[in-house]
Structure 1
Amino acid sequence: MWSPDEIASVCYNHFNKLPKRGKPETDREWTLLAAVILLTDSSDQKTVHKQVVSLGTGTKCIGQSAMSMKGDVLNDSHAEVIARRGCVRYLTEQLYRAVSGQSSEVFCPGTDEGKWAVKPGVSFLFFTSQTPCGDASIFPMTGSQAQPCEPVKAIQNEESERRGLKRHAESELEETRQGPGMKTSDNHSSCRKSGDADEHEVITENKERNQLNEVSHYQPNVKKRPDLHRTGAKCVPDGPTDPLEAGLLYHNVGVLRVKPGRGDRTLSLSCSDKLARWGVLGFQGALLSHYLQGPIYFSSVVVGKGPYSHQAMQRAMKTRCSHVRALPSGFSARAPELLQASLEFTHNHTHIESKHTHTLGRISPCGAAISWCAVSQQPLDVTANGYKQGVTKKALGTLQARSLISKVELFHSFLKLVAATEDSQLPETLRGKDLRTYWDYKQAAGTYQQAWTQLRLQAFPLWPRSPRELLLFY
């Protein structure tokens, strides 16, 4: 009824129709794309209508020191996270339409009072132009895959790695003149397709590669040591660490990882980890779960053309949570169908590198993140450094600087939904309680929090908790 290539084509075409603002500079900048597709069966169930309801681009996240107690900064601007947040914005408006007596593309009344269910024949699919960062990106290379970084020749210790990161961060800051606290994820770096090594390592290993190539020219039977694709996402604190040994022994697999911040650690979990979490808790989040009969899961995850391992995707997004039990009614460890398209995103690093010439300057990740979602007002939202693109330093922290998918803006949209709901139709979890802050409303979603507790206990005990003081805004 649909193919992975159809899904990829729909997403790429939708991106191409968006305004130029926030898009990568031609032949010099690259980015990643993710999207949520609404699938609707036709009346005869022989065809499926495919609609992009949320699309995101981006490769960056902010360090812990740049996080805001007002909830007005985007902490994680990876494309997958942007797309999911845009979809939450879309779902909030669809619920608002439903409680207001208007038609909704998604929801119909549920069986429980004050609850809503996804309409029969409606489902959601997730697309990402590249394998998600973190555990899903760790898998052996094959001889046919691009390998700009040669296998590591010796064990690297954490201290030398930190020194290399610091040198790279200083040079990157000077060259790109980016805003404070914004970091380029190693997982989406120029070395992503061969394992996301840091640039100082890339330079060293490229020299080694040249030497090996010269040797291979004269000794064609010399075999290269097997290596694996690496991720820049670091193992969470207090858990297993990567051995950083040669080739296939560089990474541990199946562990939680935080996206890297050069110098300033982030609190943002890898996209592999977040997709695994959404596979148990649903992608709607705690707030919308007040209104929903049950969680909303992605039926399928489609990845664009590039290095890919079905086994690694399965491990990262299914196996790690498959044993989780004792979940509240409606919740389960769902296993989305995992597929890959044969169509490449023309703005990814591999494609840009193939067209790049030295006269264009250094290839770099696009500093902006685009969010588009199918809402009635202001569907397009372009950010940089966690704030709306183009805001002055003087405007930072003001209403004008906020992204429409920041925590505080999504919270205010939810409060408008609550205000539009008649008292008799208000979900039980929102009745007769003194709820004020974002934290209060999240914690009041009891069933969702029970499921999250079970997921933590059984699968992700080391998942870092956000400091409570960052969630007390209203």
Structure 2
Amino acid sequence: MTAGGARSAEKVGRRVSTCAFADAIARVSIAAHDAAVASLPDPERARLSSGQTVLASIVVRDGRGGGGENDRARVRVVALGAGTKFMTSSSIDSDARGVRVRDCHAEVLARRALKRFLYAQIDIARARRGTVADARSCVLERDARSNRWSIRPDVTFHMYTSSTPCGNATVKRWARGAKEVFDDALDESTPPPDAKTHEKPSFGSVHEGQLAFTYKRDPTALEDDGGEIRERGGGGGGDAAAGAAVHITGRLLSCSDKLAVWNCVGVQGALLLCENALSSPVYLASVTVGRKFNRAILRRALCCRMHRFRGTDAISAAEDGTAAEPRSRVFALNHPGTMCTAVPFDVGTYAPGEGANFDRADALVWWEGRDGGETRELIDARTGSRSFPRGDDDISGGLFARRRVTRT
């Protein structure tokens, strides 16, 4: 609580960080978000200054360090998204060309931005300019076996999200949480050594939906409320917020379910595994959460419930049945480390009698490009169209990336 009866937007006094590394991930992510917002011109910047939102980012940990006496592993934000809305079913149906951004929840936007970052990294790797700056900024190396690109062994990807992903990760009925204990033996560049060790959870309530995929509730769609799974209260109006209930039917998977899928097939998407691109999937090494963290629930939601997923073997035959060179495109269930941070993203306060306001329709996407350049977009989450920067059309830059890859 604060003076005058107002309460803090985040109850950080109740949270305990997992370690200094989790807090470092949160701090660089929040700093990158604030810098991206500050770089916007008015009135775009003003549109992002009111109300609450959710932030998600992808952070690269580079084990080579930054050089010099303190040659510790470096962490830097390469992609981020901030948003809480998604398109309604009727808006999706009206998108005949399929070019709108249908889901503007923060985690989805961060992954979208990560794909753009990886496209830029392939450009850097292909250019082979050989400068020190390029060598230190590039996360890729040539895979001699497939003659494509792979993530360097000293590079790992880590996700931060300021609030627990919507969907299964917010359903508490099937697990109990324990309070975090801060590990003061780790520094800001070192993740917990046992972060990826997940004990086998108990799945005794499968019939109740313990493992089920759920969908973001569209308040404008006609649905059978008898089949919904409620968790964080309802949304309203013509657009659905991050706290809206999720259903067993719908158009867009919850963020928990999307992360569970990405922990099976990677965050890079199908196009980046095509010829001349990446040789293998890109998996998250850890997920750090701010509000509403529960380790047991998060592990169940993001990976462990996918325990029956069987990874594919390397492709050893061409589509026509003739012999072909094996590829290293092998999928396997990934168990990311799960960490909590007490670093607050929303430092605002609520006036007496008021609560959080997630009505902001504008969503922010930012990613690191070539030559240290940065790209940011604002997307109107109600329509799925780009509102900044304005150009010949209002299509987000993600479509350009798709067209470019098909030409290589």
Q: TM-score range by the shorter chain?
A: 0.5 to 0.7
Residue 178 of structure 2 contacts residue 294 of structure 2 at CA under 8 Å; is this kept in 1?
no
1:146-190: per-residue Cα shift (whole Å, max 9, x none)?
xxxxxxxxxxx945899xxxxx98x735xxxxxxxxx223xx23x
Residue 304 of structure 2 is matched in structure 1 by: 319
Give the Cα–Cα distance (whole angstroms) in 2 for the partners of residues 98 and 311 of structure 1: 39
- 1:53 and 1:309, CA in 2 relative to 1: closer, same or farther beyond 3 A? same
Q: Deviations over 1:296-333 (max 9, x none)?
A: 100011111x2221111111112221232252233211
- CA deviation map 1:317-365 (0-9, x unaligned): 122212322522332111111111111211xxxx65x43367x999343
Describe the shift of the 1:80–1:69 C-alpha distance in structure 2 as closer, same or farther (beyond 3 A): same
CA distance in 2, matches of 1:363, 1:299: 32
Partner of 2:237, secondary structure, is helix
Question: What pairs with 1:54-133 in structure 2 (closer than 5 Å)?
Answer: 54-67=79-92, 68-102=95-129, 103=134, 105-133=138-166
CA–CA separation in structure 1 for the residues paired with 2:355 and 2:163: 24
SS of the counterpart of 1:38?
strand
Matched, 1:184 2:179: no
What's the counterpart of residue 341 of structure 2?
Answer: 341
**Which residue does the alignment assign to 1:279?**
263
Distance 1:286 1:59, change over 3 A: same
SS in 2 for 1:3: helix
Determine the C-alpha separation between the residues in 2 that align with 1:132 and 1:24.
Answer: 27
Shift in Å at residue 400 of structure 1? Answer: 2.3
- Match of 1:296? 282
Tell me: CA distance 1:29–1:343, structure 2 relative to 1, closer, same or farther (3 Å).
same
Cα deviation for residue 294 of structure 1 reads 1.1
Does the 8 Å CA contact 1:28/1:362 hold for their aligned counterparts?
Answer: no
Cα distance in structure 1, aligned partners of 2:308 and 2:114: 28
Query: Measured at CA, do residues 368 and 40 of structure 1 come closer, stay the same or move farther in structure 2, by a change above 3 Å?
Result: same
- TM-score normalised by structure 2 residue count: 0.66
Which residue number corresponds to residue 57 of structure 2?
Answer: 35
Whether contact under 8 Å (1:112, 1:293) holds in the other structure is no
| Counterpart amino acid of residue 109 in structure 2 | I
Amino acid paired to 1:8: A
**SS across alignment from 2:96:** coil
* Corresponding residue for residue 400 of structure 2: 409
For residues 383 and 26 of structure 1, the distance between their equivalents in structure 2, rounded to whole angstroms, comes to: 12
CA deviations over 1:41-88 (Å, ceiling 9, x no partner): 136996210110001000011123323232321010000000000010
Partner of 2:198: none
Change (3 A) 1:293 1:158: closer
Judging by fraction of residues, say which structure has more helix: 1
Task: Give the fraction of aligned pairs with identical amino acids, expressed as a percent.
Answer: 25
**Structure number, greater radius of gyration:** 1
Amino acid of the structure 2 residue aligned with 1:12: I
Deviation at 1:293, TM superposition (A): 1.9
- The alignment status of 1:356 with 2:351, answered yes or no, reads yes
The aligned amino acid for 1:370 is L
Per the TM alignment, residue 31 of structure 1 is displaced from its structure 2 partner at its CA by 0.4
Which residue identity lines up with residue 119 of structure 2 in the other structure?
A: T
Contact 1:35-1:55 within 8 A present in 2 as well: yes
Distance in 1, Cα, partners of 2:368 & 2:362 = 20
Distance in 2, Cα, partners of 1:270 & 1:24:
29
Query: Displacement of 1:130 after TM fit?
Result: 0.4
**RMSD of aligned C-alpha atoms?**
3.4
SS where residue 379 of structure 1 aligns? strand
Contact 2:227 2:247 in 1 (8 A): no
Q: Measure the CA separation in 2 of the matches of 1:108 and 1:74.
A: 31
SS in 1 for 2:166: coil
More moved, 283-292 vs 135-144 = 135-144
**Larger fraction in strand:** 2
Shift in CA distance, 361/139, structure 1 to aligned 2, threshold 3 Å: closer
Distance 2:141 2:225 in 1: 56
The alignment covers a number of residue pairs equal to: 305
The answer to whether the aligner puts 1:18 opposite 2:36 as a matched pair is yes
